[in-house]
């Protein structure tokens, strides 16, 4: 199977590319290598995949419709796995236009090209952020998601709606995957697991929004990747599916794990929790279990140990 993979040099995308290549798929990677965080990190992410004969990379921005059109026309992928996006709800508050351009227009470009080239299946990354401050836990795909807390969350919900429209009008087969706080090797440097670990390691103040009681459904990237691959292999008509761990830990749990791994104590600087941040994320994964045979197998402390091993080898750079 030939798969067009956007965000191929990113945290989740690079891990996914390697697993797809291992099983014999061909991966056509697309990534802009933007400077939201160090492009050098992304270059390191793709070293292993770049050595494989089934991998081809295009350094292209998903906002460039004509370049995407040329790539798809030349490569003729059977499926599209669209992971490229601007992430981070807090950053989206100060850059809302950028988030609309990349997340909404970029996704619309790919949906339109999937229609034009009759792509078999369109799988893309949505986010648990669409659930906002949902009072009901765990979060289910049938819950209302019409009160986003950030421009980022609003763009992710918008892409789900656009994808449904393309399914309805053009019978495009679409699966939207709502990711819940993926973590592990190659973690983005703007995410809590890396920020907390790095601050303790460097002896710098650890900026903690709130009192540390906020709970997150941290999901090991290997489990997330297995869920994506299962979705690629099952071309549903149109589905929205949670990919989480369905277990939550507090932010203080994360801090304690980092302290134990580093043998150092955190110097915590408490700050007000931004309006973009919910008190909890918690996935109901019964639909993923039923449709994808998805069973996350990595407990948080085990996953953190895998992350920390990578952090020691590469993550400090």
Encode 226-266 in three state secondary structure. HHHHHHHCCCCCEEEEEECCCCCEEHHHHHHHHHHHHCCCC
List active site positions: 152
Beta strands per DSSP E along the chain: 2-6, 26-30, 55-58, 79-82, 121-127, 174-179, 182-183, 205-209, 215-216, 219-220, 238-243, 249-250, 267-271
Give the chain's largest Cα–Cα span.
57
DSSP 2-49: EEEEETTTSHHHHHHHHHHHHTT-EEEEE----SSS-HHHHHHHTHHH
Cis peptide bond upstream of 100, omega within 30? no
């Amino acid at each position: 199977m030939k798969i067009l993979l956007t965000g191929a040099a990113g945290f989740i995308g690079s891990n996914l590319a390697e697993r797809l290549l291992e099983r014999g798929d061909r991966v056509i990677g697309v990534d802009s290598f933007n400077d939201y965080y160090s492009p050098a990190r992304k270059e390191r992410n793709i070293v292993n995949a770049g050595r494989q004969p089934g991998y081809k990379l295009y350094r292209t921005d998903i906002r460039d419709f004509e370049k995407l059109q040329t790539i798809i026309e030349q490569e003729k992928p059977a499926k599209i796995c669209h992971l490229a996006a601007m992430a981070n709800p807090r950053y989206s508050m100060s850059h809302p236009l950028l988030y609309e351009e990349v997340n909404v227009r970029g996704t619309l470009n790919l949906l339109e090209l999937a229609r034009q080239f009759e792509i078999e299946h369109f799988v893309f990354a949505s986010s648990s952020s669409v659930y906002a401050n949902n009072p009901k836990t765990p979060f289910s795909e049938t819950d209302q998601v019409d009160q986003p807390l950030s421009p980022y969350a609003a763009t992710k919900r918008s892409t789900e709606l656009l994808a449904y429209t393309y399914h309805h009008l053009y019978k495009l087969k679409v699966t939207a995957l709502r990711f819940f706080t993926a973590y592990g090797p190659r973690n983005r440097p703007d995410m809590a697991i890396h920020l907390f670990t790095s601050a303790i390691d460097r002896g710098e103040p650890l900026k903690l929004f709130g009192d540390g009681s906020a709970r997150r459904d941290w999901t090991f990237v290997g489990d997330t990747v297995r869920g994506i691959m299962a979705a690629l292999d099952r071309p549903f008509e149109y589905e929205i599916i949670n990919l989480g761990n369905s277990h939550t830990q507090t932010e203080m749990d994360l801090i304690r794990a980092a302290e134990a791994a580093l043998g150092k104590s955190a110097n915590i600087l408490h700050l007000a929790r931004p309006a973009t941040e919910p008190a909890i994320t918690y996935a109901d994964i019964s639909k993923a279990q039923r449709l994808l045979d998805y069973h996350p197998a990595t407990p948080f402390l085990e996953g953190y140990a895998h992350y920390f091993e990578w952090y020691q080898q590469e993550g400090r750079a």
